């Protein structure tokens, strides 16, 4: 079964405070988009070690959205990028697309 993003963590964190949850999701969307664009920039410039820093930030968003498998892949990918290996880029981009689609509708 393929994992799907969800807001369970954020709803739990907000403890019924819907204003907080809305603000949290808004900030999450902005940060995610900025971090993804910077990741792409570093990858296009063949700067895997710089891209690894962004993977470290983005993977936290995966976890907040209930994507534990994507988090685990990103965690390993971050380590690989620090060594100059970008072989998991395709898998990472698939997770990014999944989150983008979800956040667009959230």
66 is a domain residue: yes
pLDDT at 7: 96
How far apart are the C-alpha atoms of 14 and 81, rounded to whole Å?
A: 34
33 is a domain residue: yes
Which whole number is the average pLDDT over 67-88? Answer: 98
Give this prediction's pTM.
Answer: 0.94
18 is a domain residue: no
7 is a domain residue: no
9 is a domain residue: no
Domain count for the chain: 1
**Proportion of the chain above pLDDT 70, given as a percent:** 99
34 is a domain residue: yes
Tens of pLDDT, residue by residue over 43-57, are 999 999 999 999 999
pLDDT at 94: 97
Range of the domain at 40: 28-105
- Phi, psi (rounded to 5 degrees) for 84: 90, 10
56 is a domain residue: yes
pLDDT at 99: 98
59 is a domain residue: yes
How far apart are the C-alpha atoms of 96 and 84, rounded to whole Å?
A: 20
């Amino acid at each position: 079964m393929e994992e799907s993003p969800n807001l369970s963590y954020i709803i739990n964190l907000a403890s019924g405070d819907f204003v907080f949850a809305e603000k949290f999701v808004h900030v999450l969307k902005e940060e995610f988009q900025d971090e993804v664009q910077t990741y792409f920039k570093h990858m296009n410039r063949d700067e895997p070690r710089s891209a690894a820093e962004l993977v470290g930030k983005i993977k936290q968003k995966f976890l907040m959205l209930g994507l534990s498998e994507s988090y685990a892949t990103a965690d390993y990918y971050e380590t690989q990028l620090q060594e100059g290996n970008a072989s998991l880029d395709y898998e990472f981009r698939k997770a990014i697309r999944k989150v983008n689609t979800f956040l667009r509708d959230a």
